[in-house]
Amino acid sequence: METKKFKTVDEYMSSVAPAHKVLLKHLRKLIRETAPKAEETISYNMPSYKYKGVLVYFASFNKHCSLFPAGPGIFQTFAKELKDHKTSKGTIQFTTDKPLPDNLVRKIIKLRIKQNEEKAAQKN
C-alpha cells in the first residue's frame, strides 16, 4: 500500500484518528501561539515548524503521538519533566492518557527558537 503524501498540515490532520486529532490540534495551537513567526510546512511527510531552521515536527502513530524537537540538548534540559514520557533518539511520545503538558511544550518551543536564533547569528 502506498503512503499518502501530504501537502499541507490540514491535509495531514484530516488523516489522523479522532483521539489523536484532538491531541495534535491542541499541540498545533500551542506551537503557533508560542512561535507565531514559524512557517508551517510538511517535511518527512509530517507537520513541521520552521523558524531560522526547523523547530519541531509532530506525528500520529497507531498507539501514540510524537513530538520531534529538532535540536540539541532538549532531552537533557527537560529530563525531569520528561521522566513520565517515553523518549528515544529525537522523539517524545505521548498519548491521550498521558498528553504533553502545555507548559513543557511552550518551554521546548522557546528553547528551540533561541537555539535557532543563536545559530543564525553565528552565521552572520
Nearest by Cα to 112 from 68, 65, 80: 68
| Structure confidence by residue, pLDDT tens digits, 67-84 | 999 888 899 999 999 999
pTM for the complete prediction? 0.92
CB 20 within 8 A of CB 65: yes
Q: How far apart are CA 69 and CA 72, in angstroms?
A: 9
| Structure confidence by residue, pLDDT tens digits, 82-99 | 999 999 889 999 999 999
Asked whether residue 118 carries a pLDDT value surpassing 50, the answer given is: yes
* Domain architecture of the chain: domains with CATH: 9-123 (3.90.1150.200)
